[in-house]
Structure 1
């Protein structure tokens, strides 16, 4: 036993003699670039936020913090904007001044002013500070979209929100654009309107370019087999939601089946409801279950929902909040139209305001007749 203890102690002594000559584990981790950290600190950047989310950037060298700040400042960005950009996308400091100047020149070909470009960088810094290897594809794609006579605002929005579509070969975008144009015209769309339709579609759903033409064809084929006519499909395309590429036949089949069963309608009636409310195509069953349940719990009937299916586009929270507000002015949603619930917050406030006037007007002039437009 004594020999075993001595052996263990010897091993321990030997280990303690060797360990001082070994580099501690932490020293294997690359240290932060103190110049970069200090410069970012001077620019009022929240270093703790950068460390937490993108700490690896602070360990890089070389970096171009001052040059990035100067570029943004020369374009009109103030200190707060510069700090916000570097906090949101610290990788920006890894771009060389030459790369940034090339990107600035490229973006100014589709931006109306440097102020507009600063606004884009503030919201989408990753779209501006891109690798130099993407430059040729970006240039080719800009030229292609300009040949489609799309205005600069649309092109710059596409570059900002869907930069991947500009970083890939132009041929891939050409294929999808041609598929969209052909589909629109084959369904009966007017030749002189295709540019406007395409511009609105790309503006609302820039990610449509990243989809495959096969997805478009498969979804339209499914809807046609479900009884939708060419005119119906053109109406759905003109809703400008880009649903034709975001979905797949399997999900639409499940959703339509649930909607028909819940609404208790025929297939023909369901198609008309879908034309009014395309949400029945792209909302999942759990979402629809929640929204039907939320409406019915307020006393609304299924017949009312069928008459105004667009109410299903509102979340349960919004619906219940609006119904509660309407009740405070004596509007009984159970006997009235659900149309008053629809629309944006601004639309609803206008409808709500009319009810307010109806209630208050007799207080000031009890004999004044109410206009039917109120």
Structure 2
């Protein structure tokens, strides 16, 4: 039995060696490539063909710290497959020296509750973890600043992972954006006690808000004020739009509002009322709105129904048609009923659909009807 196992292992080793040699023969190994990097990538089962195709320049860099990166990730709890994935999608990681990597590890661990969560972040956002040492001071300063705002660590970690550029730039730029947001919130009548929660929601919804100019926010608020929205209504919109308020601009909003008003055939006041119920109309381009209006009207839904439930426009035509068919199969006609059952997220719809089905299956109880008694 032992001889059979030994023979089998020898054959497997020979097959693996042959396979590796074949892969190398097929590859385009340039004399200028760092052979130590190439060898290390093969040993770690990194998709080197993918690296050569997308970021081949990394293989030409000297020095490289492939084994050190792998050792660091393994020490943090990463499996072999995760290490191979990280190096395949972000091979630039091997250009960070061990001292830089250790500094990053300590920096991130000051925010992450454990190394398991940190490995999950590195797997999804490797470029956010393996950054230049030139940014370490800015990262520390920005972390300290966001902590001073009483933002919880989970929000800060999400910002670091999703929008690392916000942490690599000087802290005063982020301070200016936060100051602009807070000032706008207070000027519109927002309560000081609710500002922290509002800011957390805004940042968690759109981590890239810091990459926008504070002037964009001011211009958008001025535009909406000129369209007749009151201070209280602007605060409502700011709360509803959250981080997306910086993704807007006056020109695009003007086109979207003009198209919506022309399509619905309503007054300025009526349009403002609709926007307050569905702020998404501000950032959908007119081409998207045209498709969705057409899809709803083609399904037999009236314009008055759309006005009553404008958030139905947040759903794609495909989703609307799918839900209509499911409701139709249960005998519900959206043309004569409320659109509330059709509206909302997938979870919302399934709950509404379930309640609708339950009502149809449950018999009505008549307290005066005679009871049927078997003889």
Shared fold, TM over 0.5: yes
Aligned mates of 1:71, 1:240 — CA distance in 2 = 41
Contact 1:64 1:95 in 2 (8 A): yes
Instruction: Name 1:130's counterpart in structure 2.
Output: 131
Instruction: Name 2:345's counterpart in structure 1.
Output: 344
Aligned mates of 1:146, 1:243 — CA distance in 2 = 23
Contact 2:128 2:161 in 1 (8 A): yes
Instruction: Name 1:23's counterpart in structure 2.
Output: none
Contact 1:30 1:59 in 2 (8 A): no
Aligned mates of 2:337, 2:39 — CA distance in 1 = 64
Distance 1:162 1:30, change over 3 A: farther
How far did 1:367 drift? 5.2
Instruction: Name 2:73's counterpart in structure 1.
Output: 72
Which consecutive residues of structure 1, in runs of 5 or more, have no partner in the other structure?
1-26, 370-374
How far did 1:265 drift? 0.9
Matched, 1:301 2:297: no
Instruction: Name 1:170's counterpart in structure 2.
Output: 171
- Report how many aligned residue pairs link the two structures: 339
Tell me the alpha carbon deviations over residues 273-317 of structure 1, each in whole angstroms, 9 at most, x when there is no partner: 001101110000001011111111111111111110001111111
Instruction: Name 2:16's counterpart in structure 1.
Output: none
Matched, 1:153 2:180: no
Alignment map for 1:99-248 (pairs within 5 Å): 99-248=100-249
Tell me the alpha carbon deviations over residues 181-204 of structure 1, each in whole angstroms, 9 at most, x when there is no partner: 011011000011111111111111
How far did 1:322 drift? 1.1
Aligned mates of 2:334, 2:365 — CA distance in 1 = 26
How far did 1:237 drift? 1.0
How far did 1:116 drift? 1.4
Contact 2:87 2:93 in 1 (8 A): yes
Aligned mates of 2:141, 2:52 — CA distance in 1 = 37
Instruction: Name 2:255's counterpart in structure 1.
Output: 254
Tell me the alpha carbon deviations over residues 312-331 of structure 1, each in whole angstroms, 9 at most, x when there is no partner: 11111111111111111111
Which consecutive residues of structure 2, in runs of 5 or more, have no partner in the other structure?
1-27, 367-375
Aligned mates of 2:32, 2:136 — CA distance in 1 = 32
Tell me the SS of whatever aligns to 2:341.
Answer: helix
Q: Which runs of 4+ in 1 moved over 4 A?
A: 366-369
Instruction: Name 2:329's counterpart in structure 1.
Output: 328
Query: Pairwise CA RMSD of aligned residues?
Result: 1.6
Tell me the SS of whatever aligns to 1:221.
Answer: helix
Taking structure 1 as the reference length, the TM-score comes to: 0.87
Instruction: Name 2:56's counterpart in structure 1.
Output: 55
Aligned mates of 1:282, 1:237 — CA distance in 2 = 13
Instruction: Name 1:319's counterpart in structure 2.
Output: 320
Moved more, 191-200 or 49-58: 49-58
Distance 1:77 1:267, change over 3 A: same
Tell me the SS of whatever aligns to 2:228.
Answer: coil
Tell me the alpha carbon deviations over residues 156-193 of structure 1, each in whole angstroms, 9 at most, x when there is no partner: 11111111110000000000000100110110000111
